[in-house]
Structure 1
């Protein structure tokens, strides 16, 4: 049986996972994999100036595409430089696979150049951090790294490859592309869904609260179908941006996050039933938008609820978010008239009031961020990607 190097197996596995861009910084301990990436016709290798940047770029690809982004670094300081980018990706649920080099296995416990217990450093920044210590493990370790990064909540997998392993041979071939696909889920039990539908119909002010896992294409389609049929007041977190389209903006009461001082915050407080869709506590602490802990919440997500004093759902609809929303849309008979009441209209008018501020449209002196955003909104299309740095401008954009 023909043998391939472990480096070839790793690169071909990365390709089978759907990866087309890899970001990193070369170094002796990882050069065998770098060389294979450079020779691969379908994968573009992008050399970064710093490993941290490579991790951030991989996270961006993971967030945009849903397929784990890949970054690569050498041993020692190369690996440790990934830490900030990886912990950010893991915290914000961006799927990333980090490949790091390591000294030969026989030198692992020696005081030698760039010998470092990298997995001990990167373990807390990731969902899983493992080493390929045997050549025949390569294909399955890479497969499981991608599956772990892709499973909900998405995050980071770190794989360490000793230099002698990467140059070694194996007959175990990469797994096919189908193996890298995350599992699909169906709806929650219909009895539970029917109970939730009754709660929505009997509520006085049900509100749709969209989180980061509500931003995938299938879920966005399901959300828009629901809102087209039932105009529920809707609030987004920053990472759910774009889930509500321009055609449905009359249902939109803004985004919430960081500071509890928005119209959306007040709407969530007034609501007697919050439909939490794809929400992750890391986006906006529950004690910020449910300070008394007495909010009536329905948890709709692919993951079980992260229970706490301020997040205690009445029901958990765990399964495919899109399928659960479709079921609700198909079986919901009506929503309360209070959802489109004068109270909601007043809050919505307040949310839109920023457009009428006198200093927004001033044409001289310093440019007000709201004026800039107003101008930009008139220029971009629905397919335009807007990149925003952190700072106060980020807050303005998100809101």
Structure 2
């Protein structure tokens, strides 16, 4: 016999988990202790529960294996929820372990009590509260299988605090690391799909997170069948931008050539992603009459199997090759995403920041990007090399980038992880820089500091002709970062970018580069002053 806490730690390690992210809480003390003492697990104590969940999301997306996020009852679990919602919309496998009030106190609005099953149900694949101590190991085992099967996602298991020290029986050897797309069935076969692709005049694929591990196979299949390939929202690393079959990124700002190519497709492969609102341009795509074939486990019908297996079968198809000329679309997208020669009046132009980062980040770097209008410049002008990884939240959660980059630096210390974030998002979770300092994780945080909540300012200016509540203080982010233990570099002119980024990237310690960007340059195509002038007050 063993304790519930020890059994859970052993199960997680046996399944393949390696890191557990948490803010320690009194409702699961023994579980924290067992994880910390386990030879195959690493306990990562962070500064806020949202950081723990964002880190677990990034860790799992980077490694392909679920990470664990742990939080205490009520307040801790509430703080954790934003990152769990991110994992849900990102289709990221995650194990969420929640401390709960003692079993005999449940249902009486005890201290910090929340109905965690009801709370987490809408933002997870499965949420459950253990009713008996002896059930906990089985629930963890079941949760792992649910998180990693079908469309991946988070599961939440609430454990009353008096259960973690109870005795439990663990049968070793029956839970192992699981492929995210193990097994499955197909409504159509790869052979049938090949026939349909050859019959199509304008076949297009939308590639997402599930296609990223099979990028080379997707390239081979695209060349084999003349498939034009777009990437889904914030999944820009799923296909190389310099490939002649690349048709662009379906984002909040998308060139007409990309939208027209998807709308004009007579066969649309949806490879390892869901057709979310942004990717479909507010559900305008695909066009009526388009044959849609999901590849992966994100839709109904199609091929319910690992995208890599399907793409490998297509790449080795024995019939004739077929070419489709996508050169006009590719050229239009390439021109649209070429950084312009820029000037700025009241700070550095955001496009210059992205160009400088491109010059200094190693090709195998990891880019995490936050939510905010600054991200429009990253999405438009960053030219993702084939070996660069992008981690970004499709739910638009501010505060994602810094914790995600910290997790990336912990999970893949041999690579350079850079968080690209605005001054709004960086002060939501930027305290995790201290976590990076404590762990010796050499993360780089690149802050575009324009003194406002830019996305909301843009919407207000465009729709109302005025702004309200969007100004934020001119924080000295250099002194702030140094206070957290990081190296810090302030940039107020474009000529200072290269030296600051070079020192930050090569310094191999946590570093912050705070760039004062021009607040008037609100998007790649608009100024704030211009938007305000267009709307009568």
TM-score by length of 1: 0.85
Structure 1 residue 175, shift from structure 2 partner: 4.8
**1:331/1:290 CA distance change after superposition, 3 Å:** farther
* Number of the residue aligned with 1:271: 265
Change (3 A) 1:195 1:40: closer
346-355 or 56-65: bigger deviation: 346-355
Q: Could you say which residue in structure 1 is the equivalent of 2:278?
A: 284
Shift of 1:85: 1.6
* Structure 2 residue aligned with 1:255: 249
State yes or no: 1:237 paired with 2:222.
Answer: no
What is the CA-CA distance between 1:231 and the residue it aligns to?
4.7
1:328 is matched with 314
Q: Which residue of 2 aligns with 1:318?
A: 304
Question: 1:356-379 CA distances to partner (integer Å, 9 max, x unpaired)?
Answer: 66534x599743333333333343
Aligned to 1:210: 207
Could you say what secondary structure the match of 2:138 adopts?
A: helix
Alignment of 1:15-30 (within 5 A): 15-30=13-28
How many residues matched?
Answer: 380
Cα deviation, 1:112-148, whole Å, max 9, x if unaligned, reads 3223322221222211111222232222111111111
Partner residue, 2:374: 393
Task: Quote the Cα distance in structure 1 between the aligned partners of 2:185 and 2:120.
Answer: 36
Query: Deviation of residue 355 (structure 1)?
Result: 5.9
Q: CA deviation at 1:153?
A: 1.2
Asked if 2 retains the 8 angstrom alpha-carbon contact of 1:269 and 1:295, the reply is no
Shift of 1:30: 1.0
For the residue of structure 2 that corresponds to 1:359, the secondary structure is coil
Shift of the 252–109 alpha-carbon distance from structure 1 to 2, 3 Å rule, reads: same
What is the aligned partner in structure 2 of residue 368 from structure 1? 349
CA distance in 1, matches of 2:107, 2:196: 60
The offset of 1:70, in angstroms, is 0.8
Higher share in helix: 1
Residues 167 and 192 of structure 1: CA distance in aligned 2, closer, same or farther (over 3 Å): closer
Is the CA contact 2:262–2:285 (under 8 Å) kept in the aligned structure 1?
no
The 2-side partners of 1:135 and 1:381 are apart by 49
Q: Give 1:178 shift.
A: 2.2
How far has the Cα of 1:10 moved from its partner? 0.9
Separation in structure 2 between the aligned mates of residue 330 and residue 271 of structure 1, nearest angstrom: 23
Matches within 5 A, 1:182-221: 184-185=182-183, 188=186, 192-215=189-212, 217=213, 219-221=214-216
* 2:4 equivalent among 3, 6, 10: 6
Task: Report the CA distance between 1:35 and its aligned residue.
Answer: 1.5
Partners of 1:285 and 1:352 in 2: CA distance: 19
Tell me how far apart the structure 1 counterparts of residues 266 and 181 of structure 2 sit (CA, whole Å).
Answer: 34
Q: What are structure 1's unaligned runs of at least 5 residues?
A: 307-314
- Asked whether the 8 Å contact 2:204–2:265 carries over to 1, the reply is yes
How far 1:183 sits from its partner (Å)?
Answer: 6.0
Residue aligning to 1:359: 341
* 1:215-260 C-alpha deviation (Å, 9 max, x unpaired): 2x2x2232122235455322111343222236x5222121012345
Of 127, 130, 144, the residue aligned with 1:129 is 127
Distance in structure 2 (CA, Å) of the matches to 1:111 and 1:279: 40
Structure 1 residue matching 2:96: 3-state secondary structure: strand
C-alpha deviations, 1:23-62, integer Å up to 9, x for none? 1112221111111122223322122222122111111112
Match of 2:113 in 1: 115
Alpha-carbon shift at residue 16 of structure 1 (Å): 1.4
* C-alpha distance after superposition, 1:251-271 (max 9, x if no partner): 212101234544321211222
Structure 1 residues 358 and 71 mapped into 2: Cα distance closer, same or farther (>3 Å)? closer
- The question of whether the paired residues in 2 share the 8 Å contact of 1:230 and 1:335 is answered with yes
**Native 8 Å contact 1:210 1:236 kept in 2:** yes
**Structure 1 residue 354 displacement after superposition:** 3.9
TM-score (normalised: structure 2): 0.65
1:289 and 1:96 map into 2 onto residues whose CA distance is 28
How far apart are the structure 2 equivalents of 1:180 and 1:194? Answer: 27
Distance change >3 Å, CA 395–CA 67, structure 1 → 2: same
